A and B are shown apart, each in its own frame.
Chain A
Amino acid sequence: MFRKASWTAFAAAAAAVALSAGLVGCAPGESGGGTADPDSTGTPVAGGTLRVGLGPITGKIANLGFSGSYLSSQETFASMPALETLVQLDETGAVVPWLATEWEMDPEARTITFSLRDGVVFHDGAPFNADAVIWNIDQVKAAGIAEFANVSGATAADELTVVVQLEEWRLSQLNSFATYLNIYSPESGAQGEEFMRSNPVGTGPFVFDEFTPDVSVKYTAFGDYWQEGKPYLDAVELYPYRDENSLAASLTAGEIDAAFVPAPLTVRQLESNPELEVIQLESGVSSGLEGIYTSSADENSPFADPLVRKAVGHAIDVESLQPTFTFGYSVLTDQYAAPTFETYNPEVVGTPYDPDTARELLEEAGYANGFSTSISGVGGYTDLMTAIQAQLAEVGIEATVQVLDPGAFDAAVSPTGGWDGLMMSAVRLEPDLATFMPRYYSANASRFGAHIQHPEDVAQLFKEVVAAPDLETQLELSHELQKLVFDEYTLATPLWVTTRPSVVYSYVHDSGMSTVSGSTWTPGDVYMTNQGQ
Chain B
Amino acid sequence: MPSVIVSRLFQALVVLVFVSILVFVMMRVVPGDPASIALGENATPEAVAAMREELGLDQPLWVQYLTWIGGVFTGDLGRSIASQQPVDQLIAQKLPITMQLGVTAFVLAVLVGVPAGVIAAVRRGTWLDSLLTVLANVGMAVPIFWLGILGIYVFSVNLGWLPVQGYTPPTVNLWENIRQITMPVILLSLVPLSQLARQTRSSMLEVVGLDFMRTARAKGLPRWRVTILHGLRNSLIPIVTLFGVGIASAAGGSVFVEQIFNIPGLGLLLVDSIFAKDYVVVQSVVLLLAAIVVAVTFLVDITYTWIDPRIRT
Contact = CB atoms under 8 A, between A and B. Distances in A.
Interface in A243-272: 243, 245-246, 249-250, 252-253, 255
B40 A26 contact: no
A145 B145 CA distance: 41
A146 B36 contact: no
B163 interface: yes
A213 interface: yes
Interface residues of B, number: 51
Given A60-B272, A146-B47, A446-B42, A410 B163 contact: no
B255 to A, nearest CB: 9
Q: Which of B30, B43, B45, B149 neighbours the largest number of chain A CB atoms within 10 Å of its CB?
A: B149
A178 B30 CA distance: 36
Interface stretch (B107-115, B197-205, B259-267): B259-267
B33 interface: yes
B98 to A, nearest CB: 12
B262 A239 contact: yes
Given A144-B44, A194-B84, A246 B32 contact: no
A410 B40 contact: no
Given A70-B40, A408-B32, A415 B160 contact: no
Interface stretch (A14-22, A105-113, A478-486): A14-22
B83 interface: yes
A246 B260 contact: yes
A206 B268 CA distance: 29
A249 B45 contact: no
B37 interface: yes
A239 B33 contact: no
Contacts of B174: none
B10 interface: no
A197 interface: yes
A416 B93 CA distance: 36
A241 interface: yes
A212 B264 contact: yes
Nearest to B165: A246
B62 interface: no
B275 interface: yes
B32 A406 contact: yes
A214 B268 contact: yes
Interface in A290-304: none
Interface in A59-84: 60, 62-63, 69-70, 72
A253 B43 contact: no
Contact of A410 (B33, B50, B156): B33
B54 to A, nearest CB: 12
Contacts of B44: 144, 146, 149, 446
A15 B164 contact: no
Nearest to A63: B83
Interface string A136-164: 00000000111101000000000000000
A77 B164 CA distance: 23
B24 interface: no
Nearest to A404: B31
Contact of A215 (B41, B143, B153, B166): B166
Contacts of B164: 246, 249-250, 253, 255
Greatest chain B CB density within 10 A among A7, A214, A255, A414 is at A214
Contacts of A243: 259-260, 262
A15 to B, nearest CB: 5
A146 B42 contact: yes
A26 B42 contact: no
A23 B82 contact: no
Nearest to B50: A144
A240 B152 CA distance: 18
B41 A428 contact: yes
Interface of A: 7-8, 10-11, 14-15, 18-19, 22-23, 26, 29, 60, 62-63, 69-70, 72, 144-147, 149, 193-194, 197, 212-215, 239-243, 245-246, 249-250, 252-253, 255, 405-408, 410-412, 414-417, 428, 439, 444, 446-447
Interface of B: 30-33, 36-47, 50, 82-85, 93, 143, 145-146, 149-150, 152-153, 156-158, 160, 163-167, 256, 258-262, 264, 268-269, 272, 275-277
29 contacts: A7-B256, A10-B145, A11-B149, A15-B146, A15-B149, A18-B150, A69-B84, A144-B44, A144-B47, A197-B83, A213-B93, A214-B262, A239-B262, A243-B262, A246-B262, A249-B153, A249-B157, A250-B165, A406-B32, A406-B37, A407-B37, A407-B277, A408-B32, A410-B33, A411-B31, A414-B33, A415-B45, A444-B45, A446-B42
